[in-house]
Chains A and B, each alone.
Chain A
Amino acid sequence: MTRQQPKHRPKLGGMAVSLLNELLTNTLDQGYAEAATRRASAAEEGTAAVATASAKVRARALVSVGLLLAGLLGGIGYGQARRSAPESARVKLALIHDIEQRTASSNALEHTLEQLGAQVARERDAALTASTQGTTMRTELRQLESQDGLLAVRGPGLTVTVGDAPPTEQTDPVTGQKVTIPPDENGRITDRDLQIIVNALWAVGAEAVAVDGRQLTATSTIREAGGAILVDFFAVTTPYTIEAIGDPDRLLPRFVDSRVGQQYQTYVGAYQIEFDARPSEELTLKAASGSDLEHATVLPSSAGTPSGAPSSAPGGAPATSGTPGTSGSSGPPGTGPTGSGSATPGGTTSNIHSGGGT
């Protein structure tokens, strides 16, 4: 063994060296040299005198075809690489285009809904003001509607801004490119956060609340689907603006000193989230697009009598009840989430209700 080892080693080493040497020095195909020697020997023997013009042409055509093939291969390879590389980017672009299109059509539908809702309200008002009983009912109805967020409202209030922690920028050690890293779980605002903040605003006496311009009703939902937060099935994005109407001098200190306010202020330091509450002179909240009738159905005959009024009262708040919050099929009085009333498919039903209306 010990005698064989030194004998064996240099052999292997030499082989490896010769292999590399071979690779580095003989870069040209051996065929060319062999063909050249063959030609030389043939010329010596005098048999290669038939290097005619036609043979030359044929050789040139052969080379041309070969190079054409090589070029074709290169071109196809390049095209393939170029087309397949941005495949994911193109899919993403197409998706973005789809999203924009759907959003535009959804916005258009929402606009139509608003217009039709306004028309319905006008017709209803005209019908109600015909009688004195109807006139009092109308005032009652308007009050209920405004409490439920179904009317556009305006007034001083509070603007609370919450947002995800800003993404951190890092330099990739391998590629040297700047990479933006999204905030981790702790730095992301979830539907639960928005629910907590909105509920805290209700609790400190807000009269109307809107998230990113969407006024909340008794049956509004704030929930998460696929990483996006949906308010009444409309996606909202960070930073979230929560507007609450109420006396700012009363709302602001009570909200900031509340448990929720304190909690989120510590989150600013701990997780770098965005959280800010400031008074606003005047806020205008759009009317929420009316909620669907869930239990009431329209009578088949033309029920013009006031007894048919509940079927036309939106938001499940029948106009016959005087005190807010004690009636209704979908608005449990005072406490608890409105889970049973708002039929949100799966997931978290927000516990938001229009409690504490002044």
Chain B
Amino acid sequence: MIPAVALVVGVVLGLTLEPSVPLWLQPYLPIAVVAALDAVFGGVRARLDGIFDSKVFVVSFISNVLVAALIVFMGDQLGVGAQLSTGVVVVLGIRIFGNAAAIRRHLFRA
């Protein structure tokens, strides 16, 4: 319950505070959001599977976001930033899809 509230509070804070994101960080923000989404879906699924672990969740969340941003950053430096971010989005998208399907199976038994 409290974690769910924390998520909502985070979204509201992010929307209302409107912190100015530095320009050099802006290209990595969408990728970071997708990575965070993947971590959250993974956590929910693990919870439903009964194997949730808070430490794994937090570490995987932070590392996911950082690694995704790092890959895109490296791609930008090498001149293949657009392609690499597409790759990252595809992989994370597949994972989100799979986890969402698992959550659905848990919730609806279908």
Contacts and interface: CB of A to CB of B under 8 A. Distances in A.
Interface residues of A, number: 37
B29 interface: yes
A72 B6 CA distance: 10
Given A67-B3, A71-B8, A29 B42 contact: yes
A23 B13 CA distance: 34
Interface of A: 23-25, 27-29, 31-36, 39, 59-60, 62-81, 83-84
B89 interface: no
A182 B49 CA distance: 59
A70 B33 CA distance: 8
The size bracket of the interface on B is: 35 or more
Greatest chain A CB density within 10 A among B2, B6, B37, B52 is at: B6
A297 B30 CA distance: 67
Contacts of A66: 39, 43, 54, 57-58, 61-62
A34 B59 CA distance: 14
Given A31-B56, A31-B59, A36-B51, 18 more contacts: A28-B98, A28-B102, A32-B52, A59-B54, A60-B54, A62-B57, A69-B62, A73-B14, A74-B36, A75-B11, A75-B13, A75-B14, A77-B29, A77-B30, A77-B33, A79-B14, A79-B18, A84-B26
B54 A63 contact: yes
A24 B46 CA distance: 16
Contacts of B29: 73, 76-77, 80
A77 B99 CA distance: 22
Given A28-B42, A31-B60, A72 B55 contact: no
19 contacts: A27-B95, A28-B42, A28-B98, A32-B51, A32-B53, A35-B51, A35-B55, A59-B54, A60-B3, A62-B55, A62-B58, A63-B6, A63-B57, A66-B43, A68-B7, A68-B13, A73-B36, A77-B32, A78-B15
Contacts, number: 152
B16 to A, nearest CB: 8
Contacts of A59: 54-55
Contacts of A84: 26
A5 to B, nearest CB: 29
Given A75-B13, A78-B15, A80-B26, A27 B102 contact: yes
Nearest to A83: B18
A16 to B, nearest CB: 15
The 5 closest A-B pairs by CB, nearest first: A75-B14, A71-B10, A27-B98, A59-B54, A36-B51
Contacts of A83: 18
B7 A27 contact: no
Interface in B62-110: 62, 65, 91, 94-99, 102
Most B CB within 10 A of own CB, among A24, A67, A81: A67
A36 B43 CA distance: 13
B28 to A, nearest CB: 10
A64 B62 CA distance: 13
